[in-house]
Structure 1
Amino acid sequence: MKLIDFIADRIGYIAIYLFNILLVVAVVQLAMLPQGLSIQLDNLLYIGVLCVAGVATYLLIDYVRQRAYYKKLLAIESHPEPLDRINSFPEGVTREQEFMAKLVRQLHSGVENRLTHYRKQQEQHDVFIRQWVHQMKTPVSVIDLLTQQADEETDTRETLQSIQEENDRLAHGLDMMLQTARLEKFELDVHIHKVNLEQVVRGVINEHKRACIRKGVFPKLAVDQEARYAETDEKWIAVIFRQIVSNAIKYAKNTSGEAGKQLEITLLHKGDGVRAVFRDTGIGIPGHDMPRVFDPFFTGENGRTTGESTGMGLYLVRELCRKLGHRIDIQSAPGVGTTVTIHFPPASVLHDVLRR
């Protein structure tokens, strides 16, 4: 900053200072008039010169003191990257400049955190898209092969059933893709009200009826009278239930001669609210995978075995529960099965959570 610019920024202070000097001289002169006295012209000039010299000296010293700071501000303009300019922001000379530097760094830190968050989201989205496309290629290839075989066979019933299975997998993958995409704008598509959980669970079971028959899974629903309703979003809680039931069917035991694979769904009421408990007798989750089951893209030992997992199912469930103000617990043991519990808090607690 040039000296003339420095002075121009403080012209108001200088004008007020000079006006106050004139005001003081006028008051002294008026006080001396009753005594027949007056201030001599040379004294007035002397007072004026001293005052102007004093304020000029202060401004010059202040300019020299802040010149290095202004040079650093001019220097950071040469950085092509805006964030590099913020990193090079100099320490202030005055308290006001120090506060401004602190505020700029706080804003920079907030922007960096937000960019890191969005960058991580974008990376997760890219990984999910690649995995999703890979998963969708398999049903498409199988359907293409089955249609070729159907041309050579007279009985196409079994072929059509196989095509239906692959179509269900396609539909589930597309639904997963759609729900994950909507997760970022969740607050624009949520409506909390009293929902009939029993009705939602029965609807989800009916959606998976063919898959249950195919895998030999027998769902069983038990409902406490007080646990039939809970405060939640009907569409999103259906997505949560759908994913949990889908996992229970996907990882059902494949042991030959098995009498039956159970999927027990219980809606019960506890003192702290309603709970939806999904208990299956599937292959279970190894203990070393349990701490990471909610991490995005983590398929674990079971996912690598089945080859159908994207690692996004439980992550989506956990995120939806968090956004809805619900809590999810999962317990599992290899060869025994898995129990997933969704906790619905009382309405007053839920509304407090959603307002935050």
Structure 2
Amino acid sequence: MILKFLAERISWILLIVILQLLALFVAFVDQTVPLSAMLYYILLSGLLVILFLFIRYSKETRFYTELEERDNDLDLTTFPEADSPFEAVIETNVRDQMERLMQEASRNQSLLEQEKDELLSWIHEVKTPMTAMRLIIDRIDDFKLKSQLTFEWMRIHLLLDQQLHQKRIPFIENDLYIEQVELEPLLFNEIKSLRSWCMQKGIGFDIDLQAETVLTDAKWFAFICRQLMTNAIKYSEKSEITIASTEEAGRVQLTIQDEGRGIDPRDLPRIFEKGFTSTTEHQDQAATGMGLYLTDRIRKALKIDIDVESELGKGTTFTLSFPKPNEFTKLGSM
């Protein structure tokens, strides 16, 4: 801050130095003015200027120091009080803009909440005819037609589920309930919901759960498993999907491995980006680019590490590493 203060007043300091040099020059050319007296005057005035700058520094930089150190938020109570007319201009201008931003943010938050509530209400309304449609499909005797309709019904169901969780993610911290979740019933329930799709594509599951429980939120973790399984099924044909869990050094790891088309190495760093689908299958209109993006958002909230290994034509492996119990101390208190 000292260097900034001096840089801001460099023109005044140069003016004072020039005036001192001018006085010294006058004493040098005018023999009637004693040079020693002028040097004494320059020394005293220089000391006064230094003292003046020191006093002004402590007074003028307080406002800017507090302004520089405050958090970048819209909390007006932390905004420093002005001590000079120029500082008052800055304070008034910034406070007015912050108040307008707070009002606009409040309006946008209200609109976002309203939009979220309307969409969630619509999704829940749609679930009623979806349930009725499923009951009708179950009564169809034609196996081939029933399988096709079930597959299309499931696609709609998964898209609605994705939208539902996407709108809830901004408020996920308020919805978490961390507990010991049994892997087997959760995974089997997700596999059961995807059974008709798996049968249609000739896909089976090989499950080996050495670690039987994980510390997480059951509802949000089930969504992660659903997304990873649907991805594995979508890009596989007549093969097996292997799901295994192990525990090492207090951390449980869950792997979901498929034998599908794999991911291009150049795509791996981008698969969790919003809207990214693929560069090798860019014409795939069915992909939304949201599944893995939402998975990444949720796993961060659950403190789950995720690792991806893939090879074109040989499949993809997702590895979820769950946190140790003590890592949930902060999260569990929410």
Classify the TM-score, shorter chain: 0.5 to 0.7
1:147-204 CA distance string (max 9 Å, x none)? 9xx9xxxx94422321121111111111111111111221232211111122211211
- Residue 166 of structure 2 aligns with which residue? 180
Q: Normalized per residue, which structure has more helix?
A: 1
> How big is the alpha-carbon RMSD for the aligned residues of Structure 1 and Structure 2?
3.9
Distance 2:92 2:309 in 1: 47
Pairs aligned (count): 232
Unaligned runs of 5+ in 2: 1-80, 120-129
Q: Aligned letter for 1:179?
A: H
CA separation of 1:92/1:355 partners in 2, compared to 1, >3 Å: closer, same or farther? same
- Residue 17 of structure 2 aligns with which residue? none
Unaligned runs of 5+ in 1: 1-90, 130-139, 254-259
Shift of 1:98: 6.8
Shift of 1:306: 3.7
TM-score of the superposed pair, with normalisation by structure 1: 0.56
TM-score of the superposed pair, with normalisation by structure 2: 0.59
Distance 1:285 1:311 in 2: 14
* Sequence identity (%): 28
The list of structure 1 runs, each at least 4 consecutive aligned residues, that deviate by more than 6 angstroms after superposition, is none
- Residue 202 of structure 2 aligns with which residue? 216
- Of the two, which has the highest radius of gyration? 1
Q: Aligned letter for 2:199?
A: I
Does the residue aligned with 1:221 lie in a helix, a strand or coil?
strand
Quick check: 1:324–1:354 contact (8 Å CA) kept in 2? no
Correspondence for 1:248 among 232, 236, 246:
232
Quick check: 2:262–2:313 contact (8 Å CA) kept in 1? yes
Distance 2:317 2:266 in 1: 17
- Residue 94 of structure 1 aligns with which residue? 84
Correspondence for 2:316 among 319, 324, 338:
338
CA separation of 1:95/1:232 partners in 2, compared to 1, >3 Å: closer, same or farther? farther
Quick check: 1:303–1:309 contact (8 Å CA) kept in 2? no
Distance 2:252 2:93 in 1: 46
- Residue 269 of structure 1 aligns with which residue? 247
Distance 1:102 1:349 in 2: 45
Does the residue aligned with 1:239 lie in a helix, a strand or coil?
helix
Distance 1:99 1:328 in 2: 51
- Residue 175 of structure 2 aligns with which residue? 189
1:96-146 CA distance string (max 9 Å, x none)? 9479739948x849x59x96xx89xx8xx99xx9xxxxxxxxxx9xx9xxx
Distance 1:317 1:354 in 2: 20
Does the residue aligned with 2:318 lie in a helix, a strand or coil?
strand
CA separation of 1:95/1:353 partners in 2, compared to 1, >3 Å: closer, same or farther? farther
Quick check: 1:275–1:343 contact (8 Å CA) kept in 2? yes
Distance 2:253 2:301 in 1: 17
Distance 1:277 1:326 in 2: 13
Does the residue aligned with 2:260 lie in a helix, a strand or coil?
coil
Distance 1:103 1:325 in 2: 41
Shift of 1:353: 5.0
Distance 1:270 1:104 in 2: 54
1:322-353 CA distance string (max 9 Å, x none)? 11121111111111111111111111112235
CA separation of 1:97/1:250 partners in 2, compared to 1, >3 Å: closer, same or farther? same
Distance 1:269 1:103 in 2: 58
1:1-356 aligned at under 5 Å gives the runs: 94=84, 97=87, 101=91, 104=94, 108=98, 156-224=142-210, 227-253=211-237, 260-301=238-279, 304-352=282-330
Shift of 1:231: 1.1
Does the residue aligned with 1:300 lie in a helix, a strand or coil?
coil
CA separation of 1:346/1:160 partners in 2, compared to 1, >3 Å: closer, same or farther? same
Does the residue aligned with 2:233 lie in a helix, a strand or coil?
helix
Distance 1:103 1:166 in 2: 57
Does the residue aligned with 2:266 lie in a helix, a strand or coil?
helix
CA separation of 1:103/1:333 partners in 2, compared to 1, >3 Å: closer, same or farther? farther
Shift of 1:262: 1.7
Q: Aligned letter for 2:188?
A: R
Quick check: 1:325–1:354 contact (8 Å CA) kept in 2? no
